[in-house]
Amino acid sequence: MALLEVRDLTKHFPIRGGVLLRRVGEVHAVDNVSFSVEPGETLGLVGESGCGKSTVGKTVLKLIEATSGEVEFDGRDVLSLRAKPLRALRREMQIVFQDPYESLNARHTVGKILEEPFVIHKLGSVEERRQWVGELLERVGLSPDSVNRFPHEFSGGQRQRIGIARAIALRPKLIVCDEAVSALDVSIQAQILNLLLELQREMNLAMIFIAHDLAVVKHVSDRIAVMYLGQIVETAKSEELYRRPRHPYTKALISAIPVADPTARHARITLKGDVPSPINPPSGCRFHTRCPLAIERCTREAPSIETVGEGHEVACHRWREA
C-alpha cells in the first residue's frame, strides 16, 4: 500500500486587478497531477523553473491550500484536515526548503530552532530535549557545541544540515526536499545528498525530491516524474527513464545533461520558443508549441496518460515516434 496517494491535484492562484481588486484571471500552477509514493521510496520531481514542482510539494503538505484534488497520506485525507489533526500529522510529513538561510529563524540559536518541534508537540522534558538536539546535530555531522550559535555563523552547507536535522527531529515518514541542494556548491551538494540517502536507509524515509538538475535526481531517485507547465508528462523508474525516455520533453531535458567525457559525441536537442504563460496555457497538449513532433491533433486534444512499460507512463500522442 502506498504511503502517499495524490489524485488530480490542482492549484490555481487568482490574479486580481483594478481598484476593487476583482479576480481578472488565474495562474494554472498545477493541473490534475497524480502520483504515489511507497514507504522508503524516493520520487524525483523534475522540470524547468516555474513548472509547478514546488507548488506540488507545498500543496501535498497543505502549506498552501489546493484548488481541487485528493491527497491521502497513510490512509488519511490531508486536504480535509483542520488545525489540530493537521498539526498532529506534521510529525509525519516534513519539508527541507531550498534556501538554508531564509528557512531558519535568524534571531534564534540553533539549539532553540531544533528544540522547537519537540516544544510544539509537547515531547520530553527540558533535559531530554537538550539531549535530543545534541544527538540531532551529531547525526547530521555537526558538533553538539553548535547549540548556542546563530544561523549566520554557519556556511550554506552547514545551514542545510541544520534544516535537515529539524526535518527529521520527529522521525517523520515523508520528507519533501524542495530544491534542497540547488543553492549549494557542487562538492557540498554531494555531501548533503549522501546524508539524505543515509538517513533514508536508517529511518525508512519516503522522499519527494524536487529539483531541476536531472543528474542529481538520477543519483537519489527510485522513480522520476517529469513536469511541464503544471502537468506530469512522464513517470518511470529512474534507470528506465534515462535509458528509454518516451516523451519529447524528457528527451530534451536528458540531452541537456553535461557529459564529463569531452570526446564523447552528444546530440543536444534544442527546444524552440519559450515556455508558454501559465496564465493562459495552450490548448490540447501544453508542450505542442515547442514540440518537434507536434501535429494538428496535439493542438486541440490533450493526451491521456498511457502505460508504455512496467511502471512507465507517458502523456503524449506521438510517444511511439519519439
Residue 99 has what pLDDT? 83
Residue 98 pLDDT > 90, yes or no? no
Residue 241 pLDDT > 80, yes or no? yes
Q: What are phi and psi of 157, to 5 degrees?
A: -65, -40
- Whether 109 and 137 have beta carbons less than 8 Å apart is answered as no
- Whether 196 and 220 have beta carbons less than 8 Å apart is answered as yes
Average pLDDT over residues 137-154: 93
Distances (CA, A) of 91 to 55, 63, 173, 201: 21, 14, 8, 19
Q: What are phi and psi of 177, to 5 degrees?
A: -100, 100
d(CA 313, CA 273): 26
Task: Please name the residue that has the C-alpha cell 486580481.
Answer: 16
29 burial (CB, 10 Å; 0-12 / 13-18 / 19+) is: buried
Q: Dihedral sign, CA of 153, 158, 164, 169?
A: negative
Residue 266 has what pLDDT? 66
Residue 301 has what pLDDT? 94
Residue 185 has what pLDDT? 81
Residue 263 has what pLDDT? 67
Q: For the segment 35-59, what is each residue's pLDDT rounded down to a tens digit? A: 999 999 999 999 988 899 999 999 9
Q: For the segment 242-297, what is each residue's pLDDT rounded down to a tens digit? A: 999 999 999 999 888 777 666 666 677 878 888 899 999 999 999 999 998 999 99
Give the orientation angle of helix 126-139 with respect to helix 156-168, to 10 degrees: 130
d(CA 165, CA 167): 5
Q: What is the mean pLDDT of the chain?
A: 91
State CA 212 to chain mean position distance: 10
Average pLDDT over residues 175-189: 86
| DSSP reduced 3-state for 8 | strand
- Whether 62 and 56 have beta carbons less than 8 Å apart is answered as no
10 burial (CB, 10 Å; 0-12 / 13-18 / 19+) is: middle
